[in-house]
């Protein structure tokens, strides 16, 4: 029996699912006594340091946790569960950490995008049973803006390189903690978790020396999901956002089955977009939550869900905040939520008033769950103009002139799945959302969607150069070479595709095989 400390924020379902998949039962901590009587304690932390420590304090978990840690019984901290062990964090300087280990938690100060999101390697600094059976060149999944800085080198178990070498795992006796997420690191992560659960696993150090480690470019499979006219939830795919063919919604498969297939084929992440979320309300659209729950049972890579994250009043007058919707998605197995239409409205209001409200979905969700949990999905459409001085929008010179020979264009934001264009450009939207706390941009392109013509590199460069958070390039992938192009001609950290994967024209493994030796990818 594994005891799991769920302090109520973020996706602990995937940790529970991962432990279940290894044949172990999980008991969730309900009070301090449960911590004291645990044999093996797992503390998965997702969210923000300040709110985590406040919840631990409010629930009177701090003293039992310290007693447990001091007794040197098996403990596995994950992400914030690692950071909590230290004295304080720059993320919330006014709040103390547990102080079980001496040292602090610092924000990355680098020229690269922060958060550090994706699959990176490990350099091994001490023997551990967690490493039993590893070769040493495996990659594991990270998503964080802060990292620990222990005062004592003796506790350092692994390091990873991102701009500089940082501590990605610690070990002191039976107390182990990782900055990466084993429960989101596919088979390798499950292997590490199994080693933790099996106290008999031998202490080893893998032979492979892989310093400096490298962050891989991510290949993301995207599933646009909606109900068809018969009421069945299907994966669909549009041509420039039109998902109907001869009047019928295209049906490319079942969401849970397809997600499972992509996981097995090596997708680094999976994104579900509830494409009618702008008019439905996800908490009434329970099938989507069921899709997440079922998928997260046996898909152990990060899951993002978008569609319908906004405030809502139901027919009985009950009000829901976007935070309530996001919370339900996280509880159902999502690691990140993606906000589309609502982000445009938030940016428009921000431009009007010139200041943040503190109450928008972006601010509220990132405050509780951390910036890394908030993705902004942008649905822009190219607008050609004759002059670079167009209406104050971010205009670029394009190598693909418009129908009247226009040499300039800007990218107009749309809402409601491309149905409505707004007087806001994609670059401005991305910048405002970053300022308000978004952790990543999912950059679609209506002109390229479903065309197989390749990514819109000009759009991606324009947005990527304007923000310091990671950008997911999306729309238009038609062959493996297009992924090479987007990773070498732009700084995008990841690339997403839908149609070519659904129609089995280019398998994910073919994309990775093509990129191998050219671009760092996870094999
Ligand atoms: O506005 O917060 O409710 O979110 C709705 C979400 O649904 C948004 O993220 C929006 O992008 C998405 N969406 C709405 N309508 C459509 C549609 O297609 N009619 N899908 C839609 C967007 C675009 C990509 C697609 C890539 C790759 N889909 O996600 O997967 O373009 O396709 P390709 O590789 O086949 O070219 P809200």
> For a substitution probing ligand 1, which of 269, 336, 472, 475 has the most ligand atoms within 8 Å of its CB?
475
Predicted confidence at residue 441, as pLDDT, reads 98
Q: Mean per-residue pLDDT for 472-480?
A: 98
Count of residues making up the chain: 523
CA-based torsion, 142, 183, 501, 238: positive or negative: negative
Task: Give the Å distance between the CA of 378 and the centre of ligand 1.
Answer: 9
The structure tokens 């493996």 sit at 480
DSSP of 148-166: EEES-GGGEEEEEEESEEE
Buried b (16+ CB within 10 A) or exposed e, 28-58: ebeebebbbebebbbbbbbbbbebbbeebee
CB of 341 shorter than 6 A to ligand 1: yes
pLDDT of residue 209 exceeding 80, the answer is no
Q: Where are the beta strands (DSSP E) in 327-470?
A: 336-339, 374-378, 380-385, 396-397, 408-415, 420-425, 440-443
CB atoms within 10 A of CB 494: 23
Task: Give the Å distance between the CA of 417 and the centre of ligand 1.
Answer: 7
Q: How confident is the model at residue 200 (pLDDT cuts 50, 70, 90)?
A: confident
**Poorest-pLDDT segment among 95-104, 167-176, 275-284, 388-397:** 275-284
Predicted confidence at residue 87, as pLDDT, reads 98
CA neighbor of 370 nearest in space, from 50, 55, 57, 15 = 50
Per-residue pLDDT tens digits for 439-465:
999 999 999 999 999 999 999 999 999
Q: Mean per-residue pLDDT for 78-94?
A: 96
Instruction: Record the pTM.
Output: 0.96
Joined tokens for residue 472:
């997911």
Using DSSP, state whether 323 is helix, strand or coil. helix
CB atoms within 10 A of CB 72: 11
Catalytic residue, chosen from 91, 224, 447, 456, is: 224
CB of 182 shorter than 6 A to ligand 1: no
CB of 322 shorter than 6 A to ligand 1: no
Predicted confidence at residue 318, as pLDDT, reads 87
| Pairing relationship of beta strands 494-497 and 269-274 according to DSSP bridges | unpaired
Q: Which atom of ligand 1 is nearest to the CA of 444?
A: 31
Q: Mean per-residue pLDDT for 20-33?
A: 96
> Is residue 475 within 8 Å of 220, Cβ to Cβ?
no
Task: Give the Å distance between the CA of 393 and the centre of ligand 1.
Answer: 23
Catalytic residue, chosen from 328, 379, 425, 447, is: 379
Active-site residue 79, yes or no?
yes
Q: How far lies 72's CA from each of 96, 173, 178, 202, 467, in Å?
A: 22, 7, 17, 18, 44
- Protein residue with least CA distance to atom 26, ligand 1: 475
| Secondary structure string (H, E, C) spanning 66-120 | HHHHHCCCCEEEEEHHHHCCCCEECCCCCCECCCCCCEEEEECCCCCCCCEEEEE
CA neighbor of 292 nearest in space, from 276, 272, 307, 277 = 272
Task: Give the Å distance between the CA of 273 and the centre of ligand 1.
Answer: 6
Active-site residue 224, yes or no?
yes
Q: Which atom of ligand 1 is nearest to the CA of 277?
A: 3
How far apart are alpha carbons 192 and 172 in whole angstroms?
17
Per-residue pLDDT tens digits for 364-422:
999 888 899 999 999 999 999 998 886 789 999 999 999 999 999 999 999 999 999 99
CB of 340 shorter than 6 A to ligand 1: yes
Phi, psi of 4 (to 5 degrees): -120, 125
Catalytic residue, chosen from 183, 269, 335, 449, is: 183
| Pairing relationship of beta strands 380-385 and 408-415 according to DSSP bridges | antiparallel
CB of 237 shorter than 6 A to ligand 1: yes
Task: Give the Å distance between the CA of 195 and the centre of ligand 1.
Answer: 39
Joined tokens for residue 390:
């167009």
Residues contacting 444, CB < 8 A, separation 6+: 377, 378, 379, 380, 474, 475
Phi, psi of 117 (to 5 degrees): -120, 130
pLDDT of residue 278 exceeding 90, the answer is no
CB of 474 shorter than 6 A to ligand 1: yes
Q: How confident is the model at residue 285 (pLDDT cuts 50, 70, 90)?
A: low
- Protein residue with least CA distance to atom 17, ligand 1: 241
pLDDT of residue 9 exceeding 90, the answer is no
Q: Mean per-residue pLDDT for 144-164?
A: 97
From the number of C-beta atoms within 10 Å of its C-beta (0-12, 13-18, 19+), residue 311 rates as: middle
How far apart are alpha carbons 216 and 244 in whole angstroms?
36
Q: Which atom of ligand 1 is nearest to the CA of 378?
A: 11
Predicted confidence at residue 390, as pLDDT, reads 66
Task: Give the Å distance between the CA of 154 and the centre of ligand 1.
Answer: 48
Phi, psi of 262 (to 5 degrees): -65, -35
Task: Give the Å distance between the CA of 282 and the centre of ligand 1.
Answer: 16
> Is residue 192 within 8 Å of 182, Cβ to Cβ?
yes
Per-residue pLDDT tens digits for 210-238:
679 999 999 999 999 998 888 889 999 99
Q: How confident is the model at residue 284 (pLDDT cuts 50, 70, 90)?
A: confident
Catalytic residue, chosen from 79, 222, 409, 413, is: 79
Active-site residue 314, yes or no?
no
Joined tokens for residue 225:
């999901």
The structure tokens 């899709």 sit at 291
CB of 476 shorter than 6 A to ligand 1: yes
Per-residue pLDDT tens digits for 321-364:
999 999 999 989 999 999 999 999 999 999 999 999 999 999 99
pLDDT of residue 8 exceeding 90, the answer is no
| Pairing relationship of beta strands 374-378 and 244-245 according to DSSP bridges | unpaired
How far apart are alpha carbons 225 and 149 in whole angstroms?
42
Phi-psi region of 358 (alpha: psi -120 to 50; beta: other; left: phi over 0): left
Report the Cα–Cα distance between both ends of the chain, in Å, rounded: 33
């Amino acid at each position: 029996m594994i005891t799991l400390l769920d302090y109520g924020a973020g996706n602990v379902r995937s940790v529970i699912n991962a432990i279940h998949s290894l044949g172990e039962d999980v008991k969730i901590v309900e009070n301090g006594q449960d911590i004291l009587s645990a044999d093996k304690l797992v503390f998965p932390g997702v969210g923000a340091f300040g709110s985590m420590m406040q919840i631990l304090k409010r629930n009177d978990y701090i003293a039992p946790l310290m007693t447990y840690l001091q007794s040197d019984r098996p403990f596995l901290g994950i992400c914030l569960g690692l950071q909590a062990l230290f004295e304080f964090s720059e993320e919330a300087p006014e709040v103390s950490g547990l102080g079980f280990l001496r040292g602090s938690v610092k924000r990355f100060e680098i020229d690269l995008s922060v958060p550090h999101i994706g699959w990176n390697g490990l350099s091994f600094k001490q023997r551990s049973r967690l490493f039993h059976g590893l070769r040493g060149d495996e990659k594991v999944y990270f998503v964080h803006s802060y990292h620990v800085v222990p005062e004592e080198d003796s506790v350092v178990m692994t390091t990873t390189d991102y701009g500089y070498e940082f501590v990605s795992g610690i070990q002191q006796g039976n107390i182990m903690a990782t900055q990466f997420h084993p429960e989101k690191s596919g088979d390798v992560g499950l292997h590490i978790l199994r080693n933790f659960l099996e106290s008999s696993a031998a202490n080893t150090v893998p032979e492979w020396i892989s310093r400096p480690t490298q962050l891989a470019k991510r290949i993301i499979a995207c599933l646009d999901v909606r109900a068809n006219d018969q009421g069945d939830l299907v994966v669909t795919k549009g041509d420039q956002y039109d998902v109907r063919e001869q009047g019928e919604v295209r049906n490319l498969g079942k969401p849970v089955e397809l997600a499972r297939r992509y996981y097995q084929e090596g997708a680094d992440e999976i994104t579900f977009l509830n494409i009618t979320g702008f008019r439905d309300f996800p908490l009434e659209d329970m099938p989507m939550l069921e899709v997440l729950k079922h998928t997260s049972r046996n898909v152990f890579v990060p899951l993002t869900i978008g569609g319908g994250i906004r405030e809502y009043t139901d027919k009985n007058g009950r009000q829901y905040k976007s935070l309530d919707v996001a919370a339900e998605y996280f509880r159902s197995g999502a690691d990140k939520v993606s906000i589309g239409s609502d982000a445009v409205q938030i940016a428009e209001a921000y431009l009007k008033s010139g200041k943040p409200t503190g109450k928008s979905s972006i601010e509220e969700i990132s405050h509780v769950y951390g910036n890394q949990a908030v993705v902004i999905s942008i649905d822009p459409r190219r607008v050609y103009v004759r002059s670079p001085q167009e209406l104050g929008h971010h205009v670029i010179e394009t190598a693909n002139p418009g129908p009247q020979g226009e040499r300039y264009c800007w990218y107009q934001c749309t809402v409601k799945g491309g149905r409505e264009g707004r007087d806001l450009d994609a670059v401005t939207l991305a910048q405002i959302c970053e300022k308000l706390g978004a952790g990543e941009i999912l950059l679609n392109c209506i002109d390229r969607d479903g065309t197989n013509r390749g990514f819109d590199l000009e759009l991606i460069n324009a947005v990527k150069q304007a923000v310091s958070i990671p950008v997911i390039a999306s729309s238009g992938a038609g062959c493996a070479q297009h992924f090479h192009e987007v990773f070498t001609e732009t700084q995008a950290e990841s690339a997403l595709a839908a149609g070519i994967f659904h129609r089995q024209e280019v398998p994910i493994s073919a994309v990775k095989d093509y990129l191998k030796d050219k671009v760092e990818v996870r094999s």
